[in-house]
Chains A and B, each alone.
Chain A
């Protein structure tokens, strides 16, 4: 699904990603974890073709370079910002993004019904996006990222500012999507929730610290949960670094 080989990206002399080699198979939920500035968003933008690598190659769906229309048509993207048109209704937003991917007519209407049903927004589909709560806006964004039936779903902090119950619901949807064969690439600050994914990748300063199934990583570091595994991996990468753990024991990623 995603093949990256020796990818390097430098911004103004700062190396955002360094010699990154990664393979993401189809139908998985792939969690990208790392502190701010680790290179998560850069990685996503390279895959979407918004940025070009300074070195290395990226191949999507076995044949396409990022950014080519044949590849972008198969990608759904949900950014961290609440990127909806506030003056349009929920359904109009979904239909608009569907049209941007070339859908139309009855097919689009049916797809809109389907994705709005999936995110449980059918009853609020006529509400203006600007009148929705943060959680509802995130659901509407997920619907508009799914409307064109992507094979790869890229989610940048999809549960930021979302209450715990809805976060669980979001992850249920991700698992359903993965079961349908969609690859879900998700960045999150909530490390514990990334444990619900098929595989996680720890990133730090543009390099891969660890990669594996959540239970494998927990076992590898002999800790209780994924958060602790992340902290251990970070400490081992930078000896003597306790900064990742705050005074009240929470982990900052």
Chain B
């Protein structure tokens, strides 16, 4: 056998004898791809509700059927009492429905719509949009645009004099006006604005996790960790010391990413939003450090430690609400997503940046992250003692 052949044989033998490496090698892509497929085999669908008052209710049925013809849109009912007619309270009810996630868009017909058409006016439909997710906003707006053309044809016809002169073969019906109201953001939100804010927790997680994973692995492999634990030093002190050391670099790193993001984001950001974002990032940073340390304990050598990186990072990319909305995932994957710290960081970040909510309103997510931090610390103490032989 040639020299290269012997080298290849040596590599093969070592990998084959390291069962965990072998498992990582073949199972990681299959597991991650299966998870992604199962979670995303359904396309993202926007939910639209239709609310009408007075005679305009006559057209709700037709409009709902027209909306259902549109791709990736479903019509959902809204629990707003029929007797509610006060415009301000009605608008508040609609906004509450959007805020609680009952719908991504609500189309509202005023009683006056029919009268306006009889008077020869174009008539106005009010489209209330949740607005924080550009893809869903786009789906709703497009579906409503198409369906409103159908509706305009079934309403009293208003001939578009301007158009009839220019476009003889078209249907010369004046389209309805669609007045858009955004709960969050505005028509100016770009798709990139939806993704930019969550890149901060992601980068902090990604880079800190790798740094702590590899550095702690080296500490274990070269025997200095054992020396520390033989001294009157506890593992918790070691971990907290590590965190202190890493923070000096991770905080400026997060600062650089933040400044760059703020320069790229296409909407105004307040100082308070930046401070809130810093708080979320700090929590994410601490959790990432502990996760890196935990994984370094799970790995027997640096090779395995490196292979843990895709296994930990890829699911967080796919299932953390970063790219795809977890609300549309099957229930089991929604639960899985809730176990990932990045999911909570991303939701809290978007709440602060896109929905302009004060940080405290994301308290369930902050609480979940704090709980994960403490759980990781406890687990690290337990696993670390076992792995370093402290319990024999």
Which chain A residues lie closer than 8 Å to B228 at the CB level? 100
Which chain B residues lie closer than 8 Å to A51 at the CB level? 389, 392
Interface pair A79/B390, CB less than 8 Å apart: no
Interface check B230, CB cutoff 8 A: yes
Partner of B227, one of A9, A53, A73, A77: A77
Nearest CB on B from A134, distance (A): 14
Nearest residue (CB) in A for B229 is A50
Interface check A173, CB cutoff 8 A: no
Taken together as a complex, chains A and B put the C-alpha atoms of A97 and B223 apart, in Å, by 13
Interface check B13, CB cutoff 8 A: no
Instruction: State the total of A-B contacts with C-beta under 8 angstroms.
Output: 51
Interface residues of B in 197-247 (CB under 8 A from A): 222-224, 226-233
Interface pair B230/A75, CB less than 8 Å apart: yes
Interface residues of A in 110-129 (CB under 8 A from B): none
Interface check A62, CB cutoff 8 A: no
Interface pair A72/B231, CB less than 8 Å apart: yes
Assuming A81-B222, A83-B222, is B232 touching A69 (CB within 8 A)? yes
Partner of B232, one of A9, A52, A101: A101
Which chain B residues lie closer than 8 Å to A79 at the CB level? 223, 226-227
Ordered by A's residue number, 12 sampled pairs between the chains whose C-beta atoms are within 8 Å are: A9-B392, A48-B230, A50-B226, A50-B389, A52-B392, A77-B230, A79-B226, A84-B222, A84-B224, A100-B228, A100-B233, A102-B232
Interface pair B232/A83, CB less than 8 Å apart: no
Partner of A50, one of B222, B224, B232, B388: B388
Partner of A83, one of B226, B233, B388, B389: B226
Partner of B391, one of A52, A53, A81, A83: A52
Which chain B residues lie closer than 8 Å to A101 at the CB level? 231-232
Chain B positions 134 through 157: 1 when the CB is less than 8 Å from some CB of chain A, otherwise 0:
000000000000000000000000
Interface check A213, CB cutoff 8 A: no
Which chain B residues lie closer than 8 Å to A45 at the CB level? 389
Instruction: With A83-B226, A84-B224, A101-B231 given, name 4 new contacts (CB 8 A).
Output: A79-B227, A81-B222, A85-B224, A97-B231
Interface check A82, CB cutoff 8 A: yes
Interface pair A82/B222, CB less than 8 Å apart: yes
Q: Report the interface size class on chain B.
A: 10 to 19
Taken together as a complex, chains A and B put the C-alpha atoms of A248 and B391 apart, in Å, by 43
Taken together as a complex, chains A and B put the C-alpha atoms of A15 and B229 apart, in Å, by 25
Nearest residue (CB) in A for B231 is A100
Which chain A residues lie closer than 8 Å to B227 at the CB level? 77, 79, 83, 97
Interface residues of A in 139-155 (CB under 8 A from B): none
Interface residues of A (CB under 8 A from B): 9, 45, 48-54, 69, 72-73, 75, 77, 79-86, 97, 100-102
The interface centre, meaning the residue of B224, B226, B230, B389 with most chain A CB atoms within 10 A of its CB, is B230
Which chain B residues lie closer than 8 Å to A83 at the CB level? 222-224, 226-227
Taken together as a complex, chains A and B put the C-alpha atoms of A97 and B389 apart, in Å, by 21
Which chain B residues lie closer than 8 Å to A102 at the CB level? 232
The interface centre, meaning the residue of B222, B233, B389, B392 with most chain A CB atoms within 10 A of its CB, is B392
Interface pair B232/A73, CB less than 8 Å apart: yes
Nearest CB on A from B237, distance (A): 9
Nearest residue (CB) in B for A77 is B230
Chain B positions 62 through 74: 1 when the CB is less than 8 Å from some CB of chain A, otherwise 0:
0000000000000
Taken together as a complex, chains A and B put the C-alpha atoms of A79 and B227 apart, in Å, by 8
Taken together as a complex, chains A and B put the C-alpha atoms of A101 and B237 apart, in Å, by 13
Chain B positions 116 through 142: 1 when the CB is less than 8 Å from some CB of chain A, otherwise 0:
000000000000000000000000000
Nearest residue (CB) in A for B224 is A83
Nearest CB on B from A176, distance (A): 23
Which chain B residues lie closer than 8 Å to A97 at the CB level? 227, 231
Which chain B residues lie closer than 8 Å to A77 at the CB level? 227, 230
Which chain A residues lie closer than 8 Å to B390 at the CB level? 50
Q: Which 7 A-B pairs have the closest CB atoms?
A: A83-B223, A81-B223, A69-B232, A51-B392, A52-B392, A100-B231, A83-B224
The interface centre, meaning the residue of A9, A50, A52, A73 with most chain B CB atoms within 10 A of its CB, is A50
Nearest residue (CB) in A for B225 is A83
Which chain A residues lie closer than 8 Å to B230 at the CB level? 48-50, 72, 75, 77
Taken together as a complex, chains A and B put the C-alpha atoms of A97 and B232 apart, in Å, by 11
Nearest residue (CB) in A for B237 is A100
Nearest residue (CB) in B for A78 is B227
Taken together as a complex, chains A and B put the C-alpha atoms of A83 and B227 apart, in Å, by 8
The interface centre, meaning the residue of B224, B228, B390 with most chain A CB atoms within 10 A of its CB, is B224
Nearest CB on A from B389, distance (A): 5
Taken together as a complex, chains A and B put the C-alpha atoms of A30 and B71 apart, in Å, by 83
Nearest CB on B from A138, distance (A): 13
Nearest CB on A from B386, distance (A): 12
Taken together as a complex, chains A and B put the C-alpha atoms of A50 and B226 apart, in Å, by 9
Chain B positions 233 through 269: 1 when the CB is less than 8 Å from some CB of chain A, otherwise 0:
1000000000000000000000000000000000000
Nearest residue (CB) in A for B233 is A100
